[in-house]
Amino acid sequence: MDFSEAAERISRKFVKDGTALADKAKIEGKLRRLVQEFGVQPSEAERSVTGELAREHNMALPGSAPNGQRGGGGTAEKKIAEAVPGEWVTFEGKVVALSAPVSPSISQSGILADESGAIRFVAWAKANAPAMNEGSWYRIESGVVDEYKGVANLKIHSGTTIKEISEDRALIPVPQEIKNLHAGIGGVRAKVVQEWDASHERMLQSGLLGDETGTIKFVIWKEPGREKLEVGGVYNIFYAQVDEFNGRLSLNLNGATILQEEGDIAVSGGETAFTGAIVHIAPGSGIIKRCPVEGCNRALSRQNYCPVHEIQQKFVYDLRIKGWLDNGMKTHSILLQRDAVETLTGISLAAAQEIAENNPLGMDEVFLQMRDKVLGRYVTCRGREIDNRLLVNSCELKKFESADHTGLLNRAGGAA
Amino acid sequence: MSTPAREMPRREGSFEREPARRVFAGELRECHYQFREGDDEKSPTFVLLPTGERCNRIFLIGTLTEKTRQGEQNMFYRGRVVDPTGTFFVMAGSYQPEAMQQIARIETPAFVAVIGKPSLYRKDEASAPMVSVRVESITVVDKETRDLWVLDAAERTLDRVDALRTGDSLDITKAKEQYPTVDPAVFRKMAYDALAQITI
């Protein structure tokens, strides 16, 4: 056994902030003593000295045995995208973002990425882990992947070893399609389609991002160095946090890498279209009263009662139709907003209000007239589907196409 | 360690409504088998179509040719709705007050769109089962809408006939058991004849 070489190998594992923690000569002495005096197998001697040093310096026992072979209880080296909560893992990845720790018990938090994907990481203060630098590659051995708020998260604890990888590897993140995003860390190439009023004083900007496959809400919280996105601008966004709330996804862009680029995207708007017959008009359709309190807009009961703001006499009238659209195979819940209702029924809000205020049946009469005009009709509804309900932007009556007719005649007669 | 499916509160719109099947009167008339899914009091009843599809609800458009009011205490309406292949027998009783009021206002003859639930009944023990449709809703529509329905019903019928030949769903197997003498070609012909009656 070449003692000096083994000692060199061991001492490399115990380096903190660039300075060696253990004296190489001392290591060599220990090894020599174990092997020569006590007849210990060289590999076992190396393991023993390493373990002793690890305990002495309160560092995790490096997972790699001599010759890079792994013991039975070691952690699997994985790609980030393969991580499953509950596993001990070893990743090689690049720190692509660092964020301010939210608690004193966390020393560092950020995002680690490899070519397969990205994951948030948290280093506990108790772990005494070396500080990692944004933009550098690291080998993280024996971390634990767990789940925090439904998203996989890498925990760096006192048993984790972090080694900087000096070579600079290329990492080109690939944007995902919006419809394929899932909770975790994601990247998109998207256009800012809408900007919404900030609903919170800490919020810098919120709005809607879209690509060819759909749209997603985004939010940027106020933080030094963060800038608003330009409405209509196209951005490459990498390593953004994809949050899930009530089954809906949103992008948190704090911590993300954002690059504006030239060009345009034909945003699909996530619109879907269904054609079928309207087979039911639900109660609460027709003319309704809405709460006038700003930002509320809830439908009032017949007694003008808002579930939040109680009795509101200065209500605002609105039109809507809730119902079911059925193609014989599947039934979709639909909600038509005022514009779509006016086009489909031919009854304007003003006309409906006139009926509601002067007809003895009041608002019920509007419901009945609208029902008779739309129930049993074939329509095509376009809009966004949320929670199994289609929020209809436009709705038109289906027309009889003689091409459909001949097509079916051929089909029915052809194979007879 | 997998995460359990999150318990989501059952929100409005999250449940699957039974689609309304499109079936010609000529096929519905042939039904003589109905079954219930589950043994709960509220579990739905299905009529099995000879082309191998269950239906709990149907959507039909035809001509309401006559309607009669029956009963004193428990008043109800009966009606005949004619499509290119035959007649649907529809009824609306006091449990469908909305449908009853709708049918009361309609003057025959008129094109009507009916959403309802089919069920089998026998006049007496010896007679063959009849299918009647309990109306959930009935509205007057125009001829174009009627023609659209004929296309729709023909297309769905052809889909079922094709599936009957190649598919092996639970309902198809059951239909082959229950309707051994029915020739699916009859329904293809029926669809063709119905389509041929549309004049442009």
Q: So where are chain A's domains?
A: 3-66, 76-165, 178-261, 271-397
pTM: 0.61
Mean pLDDT of B145-166: 94
pLDDT at B200 over 80: no
**Per-residue model confidence as pLDDT tens digits over A223-242:** 888 888 988 889 999 889 88
- pLDDT for the residue numbered B162: 92
- pLDDT for the residue numbered A374: 96
Best A377, A399, A401, A406 member to test B by mutation, with max B CBs in 10 Å, is: A377
Closest partner residue to A378 among B112, B145, B198, by Cβ?
B145
Bond prior to B97 in cis (omega within 30° of 0): no
pLDDT at A75 over 70: no
What is the b/e burial string over B7-18, where b = at least 16 CB atoms within 10 angstroms of the residue's CB? eeeeeebeeebe
Å between A61 CA and nearest CA of chain B: 25
Topology of domain A271-397, per CATH? Answer: OB fold (Dihydrolipoamide Acetyltransferase, E2P) (2.40.50)
Residues 153-192, chain B, touching A (beta carbon < 8 A): 154-156, 158, 185, 188-189, 191-192
Closest partner residue to A388 among B14, B59, B137, by Cβ?
B14
DSSP structural state of residue A178: G
**Structurally, what CATH architecture does the domain formed by A178-261 represent?**
Beta Barrel (2.40)
Task: Report which of residues A74 and A106 the model is more confident about.
Answer: A106
Do the domains at A178-261 and A271-397 have one common CATH topology?
A: yes
pLDDT at A248 over 60: yes
Mean pLDDT of A113-131: 87
Closest partner residue to B115 among A279, A330, A398, by Cβ?
A279
Judged by CB atoms closer than 8 Å, whether chains meet at A409 and B195 is answered as yes
Q: What are the chain A neighbours of B200 within 8 Å (beta carbons)? A: 402, 405
Tokens matching residue A2: 């070449």
Confidence of residue B88 (pLDDT cuts 50, 70, 90): very high
Confidence of residue A285 (pLDDT cuts 50, 70, 90): very high
**How far is A153 from B64, CA to CA, in rounded Å?**
65
Sign of CA dihedral A180, A181, A184, A190: positive
- pLDDT for the residue numbered A98: 86
Å between A203 CA and nearest CA of chain B: 28
**How far is B13 from A412, CA to CA, in rounded Å?**
36
Judged by CB atoms closer than 8 Å, whether chains meet at A328 and B19 is answered as yes
What angle (nearest 5°) sits at the alpha carbon of residue B149, between those of residues B146 and B152? 160
Judged by CB atoms closer than 8 Å, whether chains meet at A331 and B20 is answered as yes
pLDDT at A60 over 80: no
Judged by CB atoms closer than 8 Å, whether chains meet at A277 and B192 is answered as no
pLDDT at B2 over 80: no
Listed range (A115-124, A327-336, A375-384) with the worst mean pLDDT = A115-124
**How far is A261 from A237, CA to CA, in rounded Å?**
10
Confidence of residue B10 (pLDDT cuts 50, 70, 90): very low
- pLDDT for the residue numbered A416: 45
Å between A409 CA and nearest CA of chain B: 6
- pLDDT for the residue numbered B133: 96
pLDDT at B13 over 60: no
- pLDDT for the residue numbered A232: 87
- pLDDT for the residue numbered B1: 40
pLDDT at A352 over 80: yes
pLDDT at A282 over 60: yes
* Superfamily holding A76-165: Nucleic acid-binding proteins (2.40.50.140)
Judged by CB atoms closer than 8 Å, whether chains meet at B17 and A324 is answered as yes
The interface pTM score, or ipTM, of the predicted complex is: 0.88
Contact A123, A106 (CB under 8 A): yes
Å between A401 CA and nearest CA of chain B: 9
Mean pLDDT of A101-108: 87
Confidence of residue B111 (pLDDT cuts 50, 70, 90): very high
Residue A352 phi, psi (nearest 5):
-65, -40
What is the b/e burial string over A318-338, where b = at least 16 CB atoms within 10 angstroms of the residue's CB? bbbbbbbbbbbeebbbbbbbb
- pLDDT for the residue numbered A18: 67
pLDDT at A213 over 90: no
- pLDDT for the residue numbered A378: 97
**How far is A357 from A336, CA to CA, in rounded Å?**
23
- pLDDT for the residue numbered A414: 61
For chain A, give the mean pLDDT. Answer: 84
Q: If you count them, how many residues does chain A have?
A: 416
pLDDT at A120 over 50: yes
A123 exposure class (CB count in 10 Å sphere: 0-12, 13-18, 19+) = buried
B117 touches chain A (CB under 8 A): no
Phi-psi region of A142 (alpha: psi -120 to 50; beta: other; left: phi over 0): left
Mean pLDDT of B40-69: 91
Confidence of residue B135 (pLDDT cuts 50, 70, 90): very high
**Per-residue model confidence as pLDDT tens digits over A171-203:** 887 888 888 888 888 889 999 988 888 778 888
Sign of CA dihedral B173, B178, B183, B189: negative
Closest partner residue to B144 among A247, A280, A400, by Cβ?
A400
Judged by CB atoms closer than 8 Å, whether chains meet at A330 and B148 is answered as no
Tokens matching residue A304: 């003008």
CB atoms within 10 A of CB B78: 17
Judged by CB atoms closer than 8 Å, whether chains meet at B59 and A326 is answered as yes
Listed range (A51-55, A142-146, A241-245, B117-121) with the worst mean pLDDT = A51-55
What kind and span of H or E run contains A13? helix A3-13
Å between B148 CA and nearest CA of chain A: 6
Judged by CB atoms closer than 8 Å, whether chains meet at A372 and B140 is answered as yes
Task: Report which of residues B112 and A58 the model is more confident about.
Answer: B112
pLDDT at A274 over 70: yes
Strands (E) located in A197-346 = 203-211, 214-221, 234-245, 248-252, 257-261, 271-281, 286-290, 305-306, 310-311, 316-326, 331-336
B144 touches chain A (CB under 8 A): yes
Closest partner residue to B13 among A85, A388, A412, by Cβ?
A388
Taken in order of first residue, the domains within chain B and their CATH numbers are: 20-196 (2.40.50.140)
How much of chain A exceeds pLDDT 70, in percent? 91
Judged by CB atoms closer than 8 Å, whether chains meet at B152 and A398 is answered as no
Mean pLDDT of A259-280: 83
Mean pLDDT of A96-106: 85
Tokens matching residue A319: 């039109």
